[in-house]
Structure 1
């Protein structure tokens, strides 16, 4: 999969299967996931160990991506789980398709 820089993308991270979720939007998915994993910024994902990329979807432009992010954040948890499990039933880390190493399974 070729990921272009500055390509709008909505993503969902999880701390584990059926665990804490985080929804975000970025134009640089590889870099953003790397930031979440290394804890560069203080905040929700660092505090709760939310690092596993379980779902992402590229969008045509940033207004569309931001609108989808806001929509997903308003969804009920079971709808988010269903969205993830539609293509990722075991909540596997999808960051490896971006070229990132797998998370430690400790």
Structure 2
């Protein structure tokens, strides 16, 4: 699937980081932070993933459109219906300031 939006990245480094990032998001990982995604991609540190999210230049709207097209082409059906579910993630901590339900 990454091939479908690879052209939205100006440089090869963020393109590779994006491929690892998406692969990590789709992996069966219990926790999906930059550290875990980087480890899944074979990196010892999360620097490449963090750079992708904070400093790399890429066309986020174009990637969104490309991913939407891939999903529609592979899963779409003329009679299909998309159901969007707002899912809350309950945080159970008692000692951290601001712990509350986070919506994903």
TM-score band, normalised by shorter chain: under 0.3
Higher relative contact order (CA 8 A, sep 6+): 1
More helix by share: 2
| Alignment TM-score, normalising by the size of structure 2 | 0.26
**Which structure has the bigger radius of gyration?**
2
More strand by share: 1
| Alignment TM-score, normalising by the size of structure 1 | 0.25
